[in-house]
Structure 1
């Protein structure tokens, strides 16, 4: 079944207890959506028929028993990261509309197999974020929240404080570019943006208004460490690694070695090789290495608050909207996304078609 035909398979607005049916209005697309729907990724797909689609913006169409915080007609963000609400040390977890995460996640995938690329989609109430007070922003513009949620969760896990210097490895990527803007919104005094080419870094510098310093990585470990530390004014307080599918660890190790004493490095990328940790340097410098996956509900609420206060400019992201009827073309466009771009499948609106 094609993605477009899946969209028409709408569920009836009769949610189960603890669940909410959402009428979808805007859905951001993953860059690898085409590969995903062709079944070419080593993911845990739902066991039966399902609809893909992770994040999204929509309006509540129906509410199941036991749901108290939402109302019909309310605009909400759909958060695909669902953890089982059970008092155990390691609750099962999935990304709804994408993959299982933990080894015991199959029952969760079967319970809520459908993602956001449906006209009407049912989700656990715990995965929704209220968007009250954001009426001035269109749903397709708010769909950009999905681009920020992941790196924002990592920066919060890294305890980024106002006035600190941050290094972002993979700054020109889909999530890395969002991490740079999020760090500025959270009060970073300086963001060092790392990349392989100068031109895409320059676009980030212009957005930073004097607070973003670019470093073009050379591949020479010693040279790169020195360049990063110089750009950071002697060393960074926090480093954020969002490198995608890296086949060597040099850039990540250079990022680590650019830290000041007691600095922190958050790993959220998808490196394809092992990371050889310099044991003695870690010890002598009191460095902290943090592996982090996704974000918490509190992170998402804080992200929405930053947007509502206009501290995080969603309009800095170049929006590429497509009507749901042109979903196949939208998926192809998503595969070409770079940096601060976001491809969104959406219903017709003023922003989309001006």
Structure 2
């Protein structure tokens, strides 16, 4: 199979779809890999490293899209890339289609087969290709939030961990999944006072057993959200509905009652955000203020630590890329029901129920589409 890796063009996005080590595995399995020139250069994965792994270096994305059977990326195809997709071509990347009807329409019109990292599942109900970036984003959310709390960023001028005789910041994490757990862990490590809100009793029990009195675990209700959100210094939004749009758990009225200079970090922004006042921002211009509350809503947070993120992502995606290359997309997806959950678009049809529901488009069963 001919596999193509274009350079990411989303603003301040320096991750790359395949590392040289992953390329080497694909070459060893008898496949051809094309990598766009300097695709990995910002993270010290230069052209020579890809050549040594057996890849062909090509000049333009047009060459990649024109020749490759399988496109492997990190971020969703951008406006200039969607017209390059062709019927029957497979693209494997993060898509986040639910809040993005324009991208969805472009993929549907292209006739491509689009498989989304974020909706691939596993036997335990987890999201194995979202988890590594969720881990990065959760840890980064505290780093970003601590910076946004500084006075010159518009924040309250609070040091997250406080100092002797001065109390630490009040950090509230909404959601106890991979993002929320990693956010809470880093916040506790920085000696903040941390409260985590979660609806799952078993998950609350797990976290309480793991962290004990260091973490204040609260069952999430509207009353609890209002109580803790309006008194927090830093809030991390980390709720997720696989494939679907994130629920708006913090409304505009709650935001208006928050303390001046408090900070919201919306890690769910790729799926539309879990704060009513959120809107996507970039690493070039990451924050904005609503009602004197600082919002950090960067839609590709892991891109700020692109080298770590690239290697973490490739560790997870390698078996799936090999399956697509070795078996072909049809057999790879029909053989594995969990991998098939990643199929979002198939030759003009939406094949993920949650995505189709949020976009208001008819859903086609993925297995029926493939056979």
* TM-score (normalizing by structure 2): 0.42
Q: Which has the higher strand share?
A: 1
Q: Which has the higher helix share?
A: 2
